[in-house]
Chains A and B, each alone.
Chain A
Amino acid sequence: MIEPDVCDLPGIVERWGKDPANMVQILRDVQESCGTIPSDTLDQLARLLGVPRVRIEATASFYHFFHAESHGAYEILFSDNIIDHMAGKEALKAYLCERLWLEPRKLSEDGLVYVDDTADIGLADQAPSMLVNGHAVPSLDQTRLDLVAELIRAKKPLADWPPMLFEIPDNIRLAGPLTGDPFAPGAALQATLARGSDATLAELDAANLRGRGGAGFKTATKWASCRKAEGEAHYVVCNADEGEPGTFKDRVLLNSHADLVFEGMTVCARVIGAKQGLIYLRGEYKNLLEKLQSVLARRREKGLLGNSILGEAGVDFDIEIHLGAGAYICGEESALIESLEGKPGKPRNRPPFPDRCGYRNQPTVVNNVETFACAARIAERGGAAFAALGTPQSTGSKLISVSGDCERPGIYEVPFGVTVQQILIDCGAEDAHAVQVSGPSGTCISYREFDRRIAFEDLPTAGAFMVFSRERDMFEVARNFTHFFAHESCGFCTPCRVGTSLLRNTMDKLAAGKGSAYDMNEMKNIMHILRGMAHCGLGHTAANPVVQTMEKFPDAYERRLKKLDFEPAFDLDGALQTARLITGRDDEWAHLAND
């Protein structure tokens, strides 16, 4: 562990061009070298960057991975998706805490270790998993945790830990045009330069490529609109903030097919006239950073990035990688841009959309990792070849991240239009009872609907596919998701800030066996407010898991309802416990029956 006084603040600020827009990156580096972001650092940063301290503090206190107090030499964050729970996360976390003699959320007595939870870290195919000082460790079991505990007790620096702990296989179970076919770096770019920007846009249009982040906006329309928009500069931004629990396909694309993604970005740059690209990589994927940097370096060497790309004068473009710091909301494109500009990731008021007013208020294309990979393939092979796969409204292939109760979790690249049933057969999930398609914000479908299709016209998806067997309690699935949304709400708008917490609290009340029909009605009202009034997609969809499981698995709720009419909002007898302890009373009148 590096001592705090080694933190070279001026150096870090210099490295990020003394630009306050790079605040998230600066704070990441500060924390990396100091272990924390101490209060006085904020003042020093304010002086060095010439911005008010209050703005830096707003950013530093927004992101989950930043903290002012010490988390010791080893910060361990367990992935907290329902899939991790199903794989025994809670028991394993308790096991590790016991081995290390500590309590979660409390720095160990010797100031060495801190253990807590974090939202899904993109390893649902290798659950349970955790982050150690930001580095992912998958496939946890007692043996691996024994090893971790030993290494920590021996105070071994992370760099000296056995590499096998950090090995993350791709688990590609079914390959397709993106993941299976070879790609020669430069092929798509060459085709683009030869064809010209107009013709490339026409190919993209003919391909009918739609955004792979889940919303399905037509890519050609976005690029064309951005290209037309006036500005001092145009930007290409790749959204690699893959935060939707259960999704991990971008992790695999970036790990093994980064050239395809970067080339897609470069094709876009050529079309819209951008000189700079940014990839916003979620903080949880820090382990990919080095590899991605080396791919970028190689592409620069080969003349695929930098000035005069492929020898063509005036074709200049380069890509910078920005890391996130633990905020699901940054997957929303305008929040992502705010984060890229060094601010808390709160979604902007729209319109205007990023294609006209994005990064640094300039025209910006923001696309998903997979969308750029598809764009590269289209540039390389033409639109018709791409559209040959899939359905007319949903062309091409889709990477599905399969996890949960199945024999072969991993990546399945399927043609759009495939049924849920087919994927379940492929992954070996005979006992499937429900599938959460596209994560908590997506759609929960029951066994009665397995003939539905993965396609924008039926089940649109960003890629998550979490399988639940008959034994699983769908109420607990929904409850896990309400905790996720309450934790990840940015807090900007009233309905989402308050509504997600109310929803979480009510689900907890039901879980404690203290729910009533009144509470069910309350949740329906809150859902209505969230859907209609929230500021962005997070709030609009935050109630989906509850709405859908209530509708499709009513038994899971009904058997928890204590009374049909009304139950107190809090545990009456429990609320007397403090006074009982203080007074030493345990008489009849010192208790309240929770009837």
Chain B
Amino acid sequence: MTKTCTFTLDGKTIPFEEGETIMEAASAAGVYIPHLCHHPEFKPHGSCKLCTVNIGGRLGAACTNRAADGMKVESETEALNADRRALTQMLFVEGNHICPSCEKSGNCQLQAVAYHLGMMTPHFTHFYPARDIDASHPDVLIERNRCILCELCVRASRDVDGKNVFGIGGRGIKSRLIVNSASGRLADTNMSVTDRAAEVCPTGAILRKRHGFTVPIGKRLYDHQSIAEVPVAGMKEPRRD
């Protein structure tokens, strides 16, 4: 099926089908727009705001704004990337992201987006929030210090696994990942290690146990390759063995 409508993204002509978002059309055309909460398998969320683009003079999230014929979109500009870098820095200082001690390091999308955007420092004053780790489940670990509230696990559990294991509780800066049990423990939910929700986390907040550090440094997903260059930008999962 040929796409008849087009818009321009940084001057490049992007074809799209009626109803497609800017993000979907750009991905299909092989153009990367930085993002974290977006995943092609799930309903657009629009919360991380990293994919903010300039749509004919107005700023909007590429993952939630639909493409329109003749639309002019700017993404790879100095100014937008500076703002995206600031958002990434906000995500870093809001949690406790200590890469050297994280199993996801090298395969982490938050880290990879930060590399892509040239982030050399989290810059803002760290919050160092008190967050907990839930190791109760035999096969899956929750490390809330690394949660960026993208709700991919919430969507995966609800829409793919049909389980509703995850949710977001609280409000504002006190928002937190919650699970579907009275005890608040993952072990008391019906979470299974084979759930889609177990593997969709872009950071090291939800991890399969006993799989940490299995890939040596130098061989990890983003060690030599920018997230922009990984096929289907950022969506390929790290190799599992």
Contacts and interface: CB of A to CB of B under 8 A. Distances in A.
Given A532-B59, A533-B59, A533-B83, A494 B169 contact: no
A552 interface: no
A54 B182 contact: no
Interface stretch (A13-21, A56-64, A208-216, A257-265): A56-64
B57 to A, nearest CB: 12
Interface string B102-125: 000000000000000000000011
Contacts of B170: 61-62, 491
Contact of A494 (B44, B64, B87, B165): B87
Interface centre among A529, A532, A533, by most chain B C-beta atoms within 10 angstroms, is A533
B175 interface: yes
B90 A55 contact: no
B214 interface: no
A533 B87 contact: yes
Interface string A495-511: 10111111001000000
Interface stretch (B1-9, B46-54, B193-201): B46-54
Interface in B23-57: 44, 46-50, 52
A327 B171 CA distance: 10
Nearest to A529: B86
A569 interface: yes
A490 B164 contact: no
Contact of B127 (A53, A495, A501): A501
Contact of A54 (B64, B125, B127, B167): B167
A528 B83 contact: yes
B149 A498 contact: no
Interface in B152-192: 164-175, 178-182
A529 B83 contact: yes
A145 B37 CA distance: 49
B169 A491 contact: no
Nearest to A350: B64
B173 A494 contact: no
Contacts of A522: 124
B191 to A, nearest CB: 11
A498 B47 contact: no
Nearest to A528: B83
Consensus secondary structure, chain A interface:
helix
A42 interface: yes
Given A54-B178, A535-B47, A535-B49, A490 B171 contact: yes
Contacts of A64: 171
A493 to B, nearest CB: 5
Contacts of A500: 172-173
B172 A535 contact: no
Interface residues of A, number: 44
B59 A499 contact: no
B94 interface: yes
B92 to A, nearest CB: 10
Chain B interface size, under 10 / 10 to 19 / 20 to 34 / 35 or more: 35 or more
B169 A58 contact: yes
Interface in A453-503: 486-495, 497-502
A570 B127 CA distance: 11
Contacts of B83: 528-529, 532-533
Nearest to A326: B171
B180 A52 contact: yes
A529 B87 contact: yes
A158 to B, nearest CB: 27
B91 A505 contact: no
Nearest to B125: A569
A487 B61 CA distance: 25
B93 interface: yes
B47 A493 contact: yes
A61 B171 contact: yes
Given A494-B47, A494-B49, A489 B165 contact: no
A42 B183 CA distance: 12
A117 B46 CA distance: 32
Given A55-B164, A490-B171, A497-B173, A533 B178 contact: no
Contacts of B50: 494
A535 to B, nearest CB: 7
A501 B173 contact: yes
A488 B90 CA distance: 18
Contacts of A349: 44, 46, 61, 64
A43 interface: yes
A40 interface: yes
Contacts of B47: 492-494, 535
B179 A54 contact: yes
Contacts of A489: 171-173
A525 interface: yes
Contacts of A528: 83
Interface string A87-118: 00000000000000000000000000000000
A505 B44 CA distance: 32
A342 interface: no
A497 B94 contact: yes
B84 to A, nearest CB: 9
Nearest to A525: B86
B180 to A, nearest CB: 4
B125 to A, nearest CB: 4
A344 interface: yes
A57 B175 contact: no
A64 to B, nearest CB: 8
Given A498-B94, A502-B125, A529-B87, A491 B48 contact: no
B91 A494 contact: yes
Contacts of A52: 164, 167, 180
7 contacts: A57-B178, A61-B171, A344-B168, A494-B87, A498-B93, A501-B173, A529-B83
